[in-house]
Structure 1
Amino acid sequence: MSKAFGFVAYGGPENQEFLDRPAPEPGPGTLLIAVRAAGVNPADWKKRRGMFGTGDDLPAVLGSEAAGVVRAVGPGVSGFAVGDAVFGTTPVGAFAEHTLLAAEGAAHKPGGVTFAQAAALPVAAATAYDAVRQLDLDPGRTLLILGIAGGVGSAAAQLAREQGLRVLGTAGEHSRAHVEALGATPVRYGEGVGERVAAAAPDGVDGILDLVGGEAVRAVAGVLTDRSKLVSTVDPATAEELGGGYVRRDGTGAVLTVLADLVAAGKFDPQITATYPLAHAAEAMAAVESGHARGKLILEVS
């Protein structure tokens, strides 16, 4: 049997528990891996609460990004072999000793990248990469990131700086040091944020990456010089209302390879701020669900 951590009913954390299940069988286009590390994301608790719908078969395993070692290769898969160190997204849950990766969205882990670092890339970092690429700002331009202190924001700030952009980011005062360490200018969120952003960027900003949505993005939209340069990862309706759009995800292993190479070259830090053993998965979930987690949280699986 293979141990996993998931939920048995939609709702709060009281519905989470450990599950014993057979290791999944790899079907067409998938890889069976022995998990070494898994990333924890806000989408995990949102899924458990039914915010993405309630149509999944229960119990369901939590987590969507994992890194590990290939144990079996499904039909029609090429480019991967048993024993390969890989990482990517999973359709069947990552908080487990074994899981399946979609081969199309998986990549080989470079030797200079740890399993924990690799597991931090497929969701938050890849989303950040897609969003920054979609904004397509020239070097020297100014990017405002709403909610910069979390996993996506921390990744986006680094990727934007790597492309020569000036970065501002909204965050709480307790995250100031973290934001400054990313090479970004922190702007306190809350009432008056529009005026504070305008003071920090008197000529306006050239792009906004929205990781918060709703009134938070409306409050700063006036400082954006080109409304088409607004990309949201959380609130497509408000982004479109303001003239922008929703992030377009690539979803292939090519993006993961680029990110892993940046990590290996020391040009990108996945910003892992805490690691937990699988046995403490509930603690990791609680930290992310609190809304105050900075950077990336990782489960390590022995």
Structure 2
Amino acid sequence: MPKAYVFTRYGGPETEALVQVDRPVPGPGQVLVRVRAAGVNPVDWKQRTGYRRPGESGERDFPAYFGNEVSGVVEEVGEGVEGFAVGDAVFGRPVVGGYSEYALLSVDLLAPKPAALTFTDAATLPVAAVTAYDGIRQLDLPAGATLLVTGAGGGVGVAAVQIARALGLHVVGLSSEAKKDFVALLGAVHVPSGPGWTERVPGRVDGVYDLVGGDVLEDAATLLADRAKLITAGAPPEVVEKLGGARVARVRTPERLAAVADLVVSGDLDPHVTQTFPLEQAGEALRTVEEGHARGKIVIEVA
């Protein structure tokens, strides 16, 4: 039986386990993928605690799979699937599976993997890179404008800085002092986080992409003349709306997946995978992200 890393109830790390599961069977409009790599994101551990994205409802079935982005090879196609065949290299967001040997993906959230894109890099794109891309497009700042990215050293932040730079924006990146050199390497002006950080921001800010929430989001809002240019992926909608901003509007389509893949292939986006772990060490990979030690992207390499 295939293996999967799951959580057996809502709670902390004590709920996690590597278990054997039944091999999923693709339904209409789905493909079964043998997973080669799975990206690790903060939303993974948050879902273990009971977190739901805006608009989500209903209880999970347990055990519940970890993981929201995978790459791999098509093993089986469901009824009505067109454009994908057994043996195709693909990446996308799983319906079932994630940190697992097999995953089910809907063709609505699936794209072909370009030959020039590694499975490891492809597994970082469906959540982090597409979230970054969606936010930058939503802000729609003109070339030459200045964008502040909070949490610039994390998975989404790394992609947001690079995508913004590729579109001709000046970028200021807020992160810990420990990530100073890394953020500067991405092409952003680094601002160290901590008390009084807004006073360290050089010059005018035309837009804010927040990935932290809380007090950082509230402080960042004070830097803007136009609060419509404040977006967040780090706070609930009701919090940012009180400040005059909005949540990132996610566009979950194969076309968006293809767009970010093209950015990697063209050299405009480097996912900066800084650590990889085998499936047997999925818990260690998740702790690295949950405890805030990750720099760039963490990936579980399954096969």
Quick one: distance in 2 between partners of 1:294 and 1:49?
23
CA contact (8 A) 1:5 1:17 kept: yes
**Partner AA of 2:78 in structure 1:** G
SS in 1 for 2:136: helix
1:262-301 mapped onto 2 (5 Å cutoff): 262-301=263-302
1:151-170 deviation per Cα after TM superposition (whole angstroms, max 9, x unaligned): 00000000000000000011
Gaps of 5+ in 2: none
The whole-number CA distance in structure 2 between the counterparts of 1:76 and 1:191 is 56
Matched residues in 1 for 2:221 and 2:44: separation? 29
Q: Which residue of structure 1 aligns with residue 238 of structure 2?
A: 237
1:22 partnered with 2:22: yes
- Aligned pairs for 1:1-302 within 5 A: 1-52=1-52, 55-197=59-201, 200-201=202-203, 204-235=204-235, 236-302=237-303
Give the share of equivalent positions with the same residue, in percent: 51
3-state DSSP class of the match of 1:35?
strand
Partner AA of 1:143 in structure 2: L
Q: Which amino acid aligns with 2:223?
A: V
Number of residue-to-residue matches in the alignment = 298
Shift of 1:188: 1.2
**1:42-80 CA distance string (max 9 Å, x none):** 111111111227811111111011000001111222111
AA matched with 2:39: G
- Provide TM-score, normalisation by structure 2: 0.96
Q: 1: CA distance between counterparts of 2:13 and 2:293?
A: 17
**Letter of the structure 2 residue corresponding to residue 227 of structure 1:** R
1:133 CA drift (Å): 0.3
Q: SS of the residue aligned with 1:99?
A: strand
Verify the 8 A CA contact 1:33 1:98 in the aligned structure 2: yes
Corresponding letter in the other structure for 1:282: G
| 1:7–1:16 contact (8 Å) kept in structure 2 | yes
> What amino acid is the match of 1:99?
A
RMSD: 1.1
Secondary structure of residue in 1 paired with 2:164: helix
- Cα-to-partner distance string for 1:2-40 (whole Å, 9 max, x where unaligned): 111111121111111111111100012211000000000
Partner-residue secondary structure (3-state), 1:104: strand
Q: Structure 1 CA distance, aligned partners of 2:225 and 2:28? A: 47
Contact map agreement 1:193 1:220 (CA 8 A) in 2: no
**Paired residue type of 2:64:** A
The C-alpha deviation readout for 1:253-282, integer Å capped at 9, x for no partner, is 111111111211222101101001111101
Distance, in Å, in 1 between the alignment partners of 2:21 and 2:32 is 14
> d(CA) in 1 for partners of 2:280 and 2:220?
42
Cα distance in 2 for partners of 1:214, 1:147 equals 12
SS in 2 for 1:286: helix
In 2: Cα distance, 1:150 partner to 1:301 partner:
22
User: Runs of 5+ in structure 1 lacking a partner?
Assistant: none
- Residues 266/18 of structure 1: CA separation in 2 closer, same or farther (3 Å cut): same
3-state SS, counterpart of residue 220 of structure 1: helix
Task: Name the aligned partner's letter for residue 225 of structure 2.
Answer: T
One-letter amino acid of the structure 2 residue matched with residue 223 of structure 1: L
The one-letter amino acid of 1:156's match is A
CA distance in 2, matches of 1:19, 1:273: 27
> Structure 1 CA distance, aligned partners of 2:109 and 2:50?
25
8 A contact 1:150–1:293 mirrored in 2:
yes
The Cα of 1:234 is off from its aligned counterpart by 2.2
Q: Secondary structure at the match of 1:144?
A: strand
Q: Normalising by the residue count of structure 1, what TM-score does the alignment of the two structures yield?
A: 0.96
2:293 aligned partner, one-letter code = H
- The alpha-carbon deviation at position 105 of structure 1 amounts to 1.1
In structure 2, how many angstroms separate the alpha carbons of the residues matched to 1:163 and 1:110?
22
Q: Which amino acid aligns with 2:146?
A: T
Q: Distance in 2 between matches of 1:196 and 1:111?
A: 43
